């Protein structure tokens, strides 16, 4: 699985990270798994046409006091298998990385 991982956090920052992620993306869908929904303007042509599969999201996992692990697979909320589900394009990947990095930088977690 392709992933974007940020690790080696300071223990004192971990509660703040969890709170920031909760506020930015809502509560976890499963224990420590969050969904980050993609903006419509970065969907591929196929994803935009697959309205039955939408919305699309990235899954991120918070591994307590260890790391944030972001899958680079674009998933569909309403289907498990479809050809619109695939690894992120360069634009989608950069969008996700910028979203996570900005959240951490703006709140003094990563300098």
Q: What is the pLDDT of residues 24-59, one digit of tens each?
A: 999 998 989 999 999 999 999 999 999 999 999 999
Query: For 67-106, what is each residue's pLDDT tens digit?
Result: 999 999 999 999 999 999 999 999 999 999 999 999 999 9
Predicted confidence at residue 97, as pLDDT, reads: 97
Pick the CATH number of 3-106 from 2.60.40, 3.40.50, 3.30.460, 3.30.530: 3.30.530
Describe the crossing of helices 90-106 and 14-25 by its angle, rounded to 10 degrees. 130
Residue extents of the structural domains in the chain: 3-106
Tell me the whole-structure pTM to 2 decimals. Answer: 0.92
Q: Mention every residue, 6+ apart, whose C-beta is less than 8 A from residue 26.
A: 34, 35
Grade residue 12 by pLDDT with cuts at 50, 70 and 90: confident
93 touches 70 (CB < 8 A):
no
Q: How many CB atoms lie within 10 A of CB 16?
A: 15
Predicted confidence at residue 69, as pLDDT, reads: 97
Nearest to 35 by CA among 77, 89, 63: 77
């Amino acid at each position: 699985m392709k992933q974007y991982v940020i690790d080696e956090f300071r223990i004192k920052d971990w509660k703040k990270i969890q709170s920031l992620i909760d506020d930015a993306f809502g509560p976890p869908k499963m224990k420590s798994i969050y969904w980050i929904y993609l903006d419509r303007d970065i969907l591929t042509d196929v994803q935009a046409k697959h309205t039955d599969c939408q919305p699309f999201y990235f899954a991120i996992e918070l591994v307590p006091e260890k790391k944030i692990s972001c899958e680079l697979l674009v998933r569909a909320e309403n289907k498990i298998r479809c050809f619109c589900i695939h690894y992120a394009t360069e634009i989608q990947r950069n969008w996700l990385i910028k979203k996570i990095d900005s959240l951490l930088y703006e709140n003094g977690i990563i300098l």
